[in-house]
Amino acid sequence: MSDFTPPSAPSMPDPPAPAQAPAGRGSTSRGRSVAAAAEPGRDWKVTLVVGFLVLVGAVIGAGVIYDVMSGVVRGPFTAASAGETGSMHPAEVIGGMCLAAMPSGDEVDSVEVVDCDEPHEAVVVARVSYVDDEFPGEAELADRAQERCAAEAAEAGAEAWTAWVPTRDTWERDDTAIACVVEE
């Protein structure tokens, strides 16, 4: 046997003593500074502000999600396919589609497209798309609708027609088409 003795581990210095707070101020804990511990009420104010900001962010986020899910914010718009039925934005309808009811009012957000063999109140006689990069303006779109929809309605044998034209807002979401609709 050998008289081998393993070397002893080097001695480690003792850990530093915890910082002592000045008299009358309390001690520090969990990384809080002495100054923070000395300001009663500061923590709840920070928590309140952070909580408020989180709440505001959650409310805004929920509102955006609701708008998207409910169809308030839609787009970009693309034309539907022939034979599609169901609820659609007016920017998605195409010529030959039948509408269960003719919407009333100046702004139409949704229409119900049905099979033309089913009872319906209106027919889309044309969808005319434009490729203008910038919104041409309401007056220009009204002129385009007057020219095109009057001709399409006459060809369909109708005297009265309605045109759904894009707004500046929907134009920016790729709604660049006019839909010409006649009531049956």
Rg of the chain (C-alpha set): 35
Residues 176, 73: Cα–Cα separation, whole Å:
16
pLDDT tens string for the chain (184 positions)? 556 555 555 565 665 555 554 555 544 444 444 444 445 566 777 777 777 777 766 666 555 454 444 444 444 567 778 888 999 988 899 999 999 999 887 788 899 999 999 999 999 999 998 888 789 999 999 999 999 999 999 999 998 999 999 999 889 888 889 999 999 8
Closest CA relative to residue 78, chosen from 129, 148, 138: 129
pLDDT of amino acid 81: 81
pLDDT of amino acid 42: 67
pLDDT of amino acid 19: 54
Domain spans in the chain, listed from the N-terminal domain onward: 18-73, 86-183
